[in-house]
Amino acid sequence: MNSPRTPDSTGASGDEVRVTAVVRGVVQGVGFRYRVLRQAAKLNLTGSAVNQPDGSVVITAEGLPSAVDGLVEWVRSPAAPGVVESVEEHHSPATGEFSSFDAG
């Protein structure tokens, strides 16, 4: 369960960050998005994991910096399902765009 957040003028808590990660490899059809959702819930992150037509998955996650880093570390680890060949990350301030994590 996500705890309530105190938004700033952008809708995000001032100490939160955002990562957008493009994950390539064998990451579709192996339960990857579902497991990202579960890991994000454990870390109290909001965002999404979306399959792309090229076979990659784009993860957008917002939360505390340590939690966001933890998700990216998990994606790169052997614990993530499938075969992760590469992860391209872009970090930015959180926007507060998400109220939960969606892997639909």
Selected catalytic residue, list 33, 38, 44, 76: 33
pTM of the model: 0.87
Is 33 in the active site?
Answer: yes
pLDDT confidence of residue 12: 57
Is 51 in the active site?
Answer: yes
Is residue 18 within 8 Å of 94, Cβ to Cβ? Answer: yes
pLDDT confidence of residue 13: 63
Selected catalytic residue, list 2, 24, 51, 76: 51
Is residue 62 within 8 Å of 94, Cβ to Cβ? Answer: yes
Query: Other C-beta atoms within 10 Å of 85: how many?
Result: 11
What residue type is assigned to position 8 of the chain? Answer: D
Taking 50 as the pLDDT cut, the residues of the chain under it are 1-11
Locate the DSSP E strands across the chain: 17-26, 46-51, 57-63, 83-93, 101-102
